[in-house]
Structure 1
Amino acid sequence: MLQISRIHCRKLSSHVKLLVTPAKALVDDKVDITVERLAPRQPVTLHARLVEGTARFQSYAHYRADDAGRVIVAKQPSLRGLFTGVEQMGLFWSMQPSPGQKPGLRLRKKDVSTPFLVDVGVHDGHLDVMREENLPLLTTTTVERWFLADGVKRIPVREGRVRGTLFLPPGDGSFAGVIDMFGSTGGLAEYRAALLASRGFAVLALAFFAYDDLPEDMSDIDLDYFEEAADWLLSLPNVQNHGVGILATSKGGEIALSMAAHMDKVAAVVFINGYSAVTQAPLPYKGTVFPCAPWILEELVVTEEGYIDVRNVLDTTKEPGIKACVQVEKAQCPIMFVAGEDDLSIKSVFHANQAIDRMKAHGKTNYTLLQYPKTGHLIEPPYTPHCGVFYHSFINTCMTAGGEPKSHAAAQEDSWHKILDFFRTHADKNSPQSSL
């Protein structure tokens, strides 16, 4: 796994010591942050900064040293700042865009071959650092947060129609195969696939429109493309051939449900905040065309800030929306639904339960529901910042996503570990947890 580098701490004070361990780790690993050699009961501000391309993010929290002159973040509460209470990873998940950034900025790793570099510093006193530059520091250090573990191979994929990136763990396998998909923003996102591969899966980050020579929009998508991707992944000599797992968010979720309903090569599905019906365009498959739920444009809401709220633009409770619902009751594989109760992009809890109700009506029990309060649309890997409003590149505007940072962060941490366990149980025949 990832090799841990020693900590390089550049002292800006003659005595204060800042320790962040491990200084190099995967983004879903926790770190310990300790400040030593402070004065007893000294007030300090811990400050984290991250620059990714032109995007700048930061966070801060106020602490008071104990009687021995120490701050141990995993044991002592933040008194004020972007989070309060005992939060070991609070400086990471509470990060916000620095002032002056464009609205809807979302922190996503585009180049997984490099880490997020997070500068963690200590200021004397309790300061509001968000709008201040070049404040004096007692000490600082840099932490590396990786999506890609040492030894994981990254292989661009252009096979037949299939476009994406394959990530393979070190060794010869055989590895459980997983397809990773996102939603209606299109393009190719690799970071979650890289992290999954770093945890032992062979993962295909799959693009399906607005990338390379794929269709420019979702109107030309067909389900056969996704079957071709699954077949290709299962054909690899170091990938288990019994079936693929699928991890999918938003628009990708309805595709994952459709794959599970109509393909026996799907071993397990994790469906994050998606629709229970085909949306935006009909979905062809082997000569059949599955209809889509029509848009109800008059239900689109523009908030006072000018953001788009599309939660009510689809109605799958009456015709013709009912006909567009995925026949998920046909799925033979286990399905885990992950839903945020404060999703302001999709009525995720409703759609998860609508799919589950179809399964129940047909006597099916192959479902699990993870439902999280105060959690928004963009449920990402743990300790990555909550994003309540995001810029949607395909429609060229900002959309509401919802969620409250602390609760959303807790949901990301809880769901990620359950997702890993779910795939180990239902997709990996070599795992001690396997049900295969």
Structure 2
Amino acid sequence: MSNQVQLLVTPTKALVDDKVDITVERLAPGQPVTLHARLVEGTARFQSYAHYRADDTGRVVVAKQPSLGGLYAGIEQMGLFWSMQPSPGQKPGLRLRKKDVSTPFLVEVSVHEGNVAVMGEKNLACLATKTIERWYLGDDVKRIPVKEGRVRGTLFLPPGKGPFAGVVDIFGSTGGLPEYRAALLASRGFAALALPYFGYDDLPENISDIDLDYFEEAVDWFLSLPNVRIRGVGVLATSYGGHLALCMAVYMNKVDAVAVIGSYTAVVGNPLPYKSKVLPCARFVLDQVIFTKEGFAYSGNLLEDTTKDPGRKACIQVEKTQCPIMFVAGEDDLNVKSVLYANQAIARMKDHGKTNYTLLSYPWAGHLIEPPYTPHCGVCYHAVYDKCVLMGGEPKGHAAAQEDSWHKILDFFRAHVGSSAHSKL
């Protein structure tokens, strides 16, 4: 029918860090509608909704018109994506993570009559609907499992022969092999190595059994590939992985640039063997963890004081590295005092006349700063604690941090990793 409501989405297939234009047409002037987005990933179900009112021409243009309510308000082109929450009935602490990058997130966007609350509703009358594919893995990006010596992981290569700037991607204390960020890095032009270090394949089962030599072996293997620029690699790391990345910057001259997100700046938890020495650590003080009345763990005070011995001796000597370091920190990080630790490291660099640092500090952002438009996760189940842990942040501010930091991280690695003057030809 000619007056049937139309939902227009451009593009319907894109990478997860691409923006999407959503427009509703053929409404009555001033007609109230609700836009609803749903996503299913395995057993996890997420959704969002927002209220709009059609303009005088009967259109809603999400990028230009304000949401009047729902899970966000104001003009937010990607609000339906970053404001997603676990659907009612899901377990507390659910975090949206892509486990199989060979498939997209499928986001179903629908239009409903009136300004209604739709969370948990299953059979609402629908005026129009579209399904959007959101990918981490771009067209023609190669995914190659890695089992070389001790090194385990997944290599992602962009289309073409290269050589490409190489980035090693490391996550934190949840272990295993997350691939989604490395896949997205490759989709943006980098050779990317998703590098697990415990809790995967035949790697150590416990985080306490790792050593820094493993990471050096991974860098050496990565740089031996003809697809990777020979001069050096970048390292992107989150949370517990951040202190490992900073150690790589200090002790390995093949590291060109490091970006750490929500990171400690001391060796933490356990001493870290490297070659013939053992790097001392700042211990975790478990009785400093505070539990809320809901049973959630606040672990911001978990680490012993790094301004006094013995914790001070564990501080990583970032002032000795020549490579640039980018610290990304949420000012409401309730899991790691990442702004405090970043500033401690920067102070040491300044004391030694160093200027090779950047601090991206974001108000209202929590611990899990992910690629753009990832739903905010303020409380996350953590297998190490077997508890839900407070991560901090609020959705809108956290979304702004994710979008801004991701593009700055990409530019940072483009500027500093694998100078073409030293590339393999």
TM-score normalised by L of structure 1? 0.95
Alignment deviations for residues 281-327 of structure 1 (CA, whole Å, 9 cap, x no partner): 10010111001102222211011110111111212111100011111
Q: SS at the partner of 2:164?
A: coil
Q: Measure the CA separation in 2 of the matches of 1:277 and 1:42.
A: 56
Alignment partner, residue 43 of structure 2: 54
Distance 1:64 1:430, change over 3 A: farther
Is 1:117 matched up with 2:106?
A: yes
Alignment deviations for residues 19-61 of structure 1 (CA, whole Å, 9 cap, x no partner): 0100000000001000000000000000000000000000000
Asked if the contact 1:186/1:394 (under 8 Å) is kept, the reply is: no
Alignment partner, residue 317 of structure 2: 327
Which deviates the most, 48-57 or 125-134? 125-134
Alignment deviations for residues 366-420 of structure 1 (CA, whole Å, 9 cap, x no partner): 0000000010000000011000000112332111100010000000000000000
Runs of 4+ in 1 over 3 A off after TM superposition: none
Alignment partner, residue 11 of structure 2: 22
Identity %: 74
Alignment partner, residue 283 of structure 1: 272
Is 1:366 matched up with 2:356?
A: yes
Q: How does 1:35-434 map to 2 (within 5 A)?
A: 35-314=24-303, 315-430=305-420
Q: Measure the CA separation in 1 of the matches of 2:335 and 2:198.
A: 20
Distance 1:23 1:295, change over 3 A: same
AA at the equivalent of 1:216 = E
Alignment deviations for residues 242-283 of structure 1 (CA, whole Å, 9 cap, x no partner): 011000000110000000011100000001111011111100
Asked if the contact 1:16/1:36 (under 8 Å) is kept, the reply is: yes
Q: Measure the CA separation in 2 of the matches of 1:76 and 1:428.
A: 43
Q: Measure the CA separation in 2 of the matches of 1:297 and 1:48.
A: 40
Asked if the contact 2:3/2:26 (under 8 Å) is kept, the reply is: no
Q: Measure the CA separation in 1 of the matches of 2:234 and 2:74.
A: 37
Q: SS at the partner of 1:176?
A: strand
AA at the equivalent of 2:351 = A
Q: SS at the partner of 1:57?
A: strand
Q: Measure the CA separation in 2 of the matches of 1:52 and 1:428.
A: 36
TM-score normalised by L of structure 2? 0.98
AA at the equivalent of 1:95 = M
Distance 1:335 1:321, change over 3 A: same
AA at the equivalent of 1:337 = F
Q: Measure the CA separation in 2 of the matches of 1:72 and 1:296.
A: 51
Asked if the contact 1:36/1:70 (under 8 Å) is kept, the reply is: yes
Alignment deviations for residues 131-160 of structure 1 (CA, whole Å, 9 cap, x no partner): 321100001010000000000000000100
CA RMSD of aligned residues (A): 1.3
AA at the equivalent of 2:401 = A
Q: SS at the partner of 1:319?
A: coil
CA displacement at 1:14 relative to structure 2? 5.8
Which deviates the most, 357-366 or 13-22? 13-22
Q: Measure the CA separation in 1 of the matches of 2:84 and 2:38.
A: 8
Q: Measure the CA separation in 2 of the matches of 1:144 and 1:299.
A: 44
Q: Measure the CA separation in 2 of the matches of 1:347 and 1:356.
A: 14
**Structure 2: gaps (5+ residues):** none
Q: Measure the CA separation in 2 of the matches of 1:241 and 1:97.
A: 44
Asked if the contact 2:231/2:418 (under 8 Å) is kept, the reply is: no
Q: Measure the CA separation in 1 of the matches of 2:370 and 2:389.
A: 17
Q: Measure the CA separation in 2 of the matches of 1:404 and 1:238.
A: 40
Asked if the contact 1:19/1:34 (under 8 Å) is kept, the reply is: yes
> How many pairs align?
421
**Structure 1: gaps (5+ residues):** 1-10
Q: Measure the CA separation in 2 of the matches of 1:241 and 1:146.
A: 29
